[in-house]
Amino acid sequence: MSRETVDKIVADKPTLIIGVVGAFTPICTDSHINEYLPVVPILKKTRAIEQCICTAVVDPFVLSAWTSSIGGDGLIDAWADPFGEFAKSIGITADLTALGLGLRSGRYSMLIVGGEVQKLNIEEDPTIVTVSGANLIMEQLGVYQRLSLTPFLVGSLPAQPLSTRH
């Protein structure tokens, strides 16, 4: 996946890109992307986004299988970045060689509108989720206010702040 390809696809659609360290990893599955599953339909219904993309430095077969296994088919487009081209081009990488994972995408959420990055939330430590989760994007887009929701109850989410889910 090249930067040019991504630029073309997101040029005219409000797009949320979620960068994860890897498919089938506990934090990416349980604490990061899982937060977005009930939120993406809300973001689309309120027209905050038209598409949601999840990218990781893995092969396309693994990312596709992972997306299916978490119930993300039809909600989140899985874009594999097997050689880290996209992650390197935007400068959001994580060297996790010490953990046996090599060079990976950093953990982030990015909102693109009109081909321009409007919001970018990058985790300083890619092994945790603090600023790249669904709760902050919902707040940044004003979705809670527009729908008179609280950050504690969104769709079918559990009655706890998303930022504290582990």
Q: How far apart are CA 63 and CA 54, in angstroms?
A: 9
Q: How far apart are CA 119 and CA 103, in angstroms?
A: 24
Is 54 a residue of the active site? Answer: no
Contact by Cβ (8 Å): 81, 107: no
Please tell me which residue in 20, 28, 80, 94 is annotated as part of the active site: 28
Give the chain as a 3 state SS string.
Answer: CCHHHHHHHHCCCCEEEEECCCCCCHHHHHHHHHHHCCCHHHHHHCCCCCEEEEEECCCHHHHHHHHHHCCCCCCCEEEECCCCHHHHHHCCEEEEHHHCCEEEECCEEEEEECCEEEEEEECCCCCCCCCCCHHHHHHHCCHHHHCCCCCCCCCCCCCCCHHHCC
Catalogue the active-site residues: 28
